[in-house]
Amino acid sequence: MGASKTDHFSDNHNQMASIAKALGHPARIAIVEFLAKSEACICTDIVDILPLSQPTVSQHLRELKSAGIIKGTVEGNAICYCLNQEVLSILKEYIGKLAIIKTCC
């Protein structure tokens, strides 16, 4: 006991939770926001904008990538990151459905 009982929930609930979970850290929010504000994909600069060490940033990037929120392309000895709009749209749609005012409470 301690691990979450993933297999007791629907695929959809698990997917939404894993996307939300990946965004559930201020460093990862900062990364995603930085990529969103950039005109193009970003190589190199991500470590510089965060108050965290390079290995820690690398770990956060991996989590965002494994949730599908960002994509990374190898570009020489650097890696270019950008947002995966498909996955963000899934989240957007989902939150949109929840955020509908109802006449109660």
Please choose which of DNA, a second copy, none residue 64 contacts, taking the beta carbon within 5 to 8 angstroms, the exact cut-off set by kind: none
Helix (H, G, I), strand (E, B) or coil at 9: coil
What is the Cα–Cα distance from 76 to 17, expressed in whole angstroms? 34
Residue 30 C-beta: closest distance to DNA, Å: 11
Asked if 81 and 70 touch (Cβ cutoff 8 Å), the reply is yes
Asked if 64 and 44 touch (Cβ cutoff 8 Å), the reply is no
Residues 60-99 that bind DNA (CB under 7 A): 60-63, 72, 74, 76-79
Q: Buried b / exposed e across 62-82, counting CB within 10 Å, b at 16+?
A: ebbbebbbbbbeeeeeebebb
The binder of DNA chosen from 47, 88, 90, 91 (CB under 7 A)? 47
- Chain contacts with DNA (rule: CB under 7 A): 1-5, 21, 24-25, 27, 43-44, 46-47, 52-56, 58-63, 72, 74, 76-79
- Chain contacts with a second copy (rule: CB under 8 A): 4-6, 8-10, 13-14, 16-18, 20-30, 32-33, 36, 39-41, 51-52, 71, 73, 80, 82-83, 85, 88-89, 91-92, 95-102, 104-105
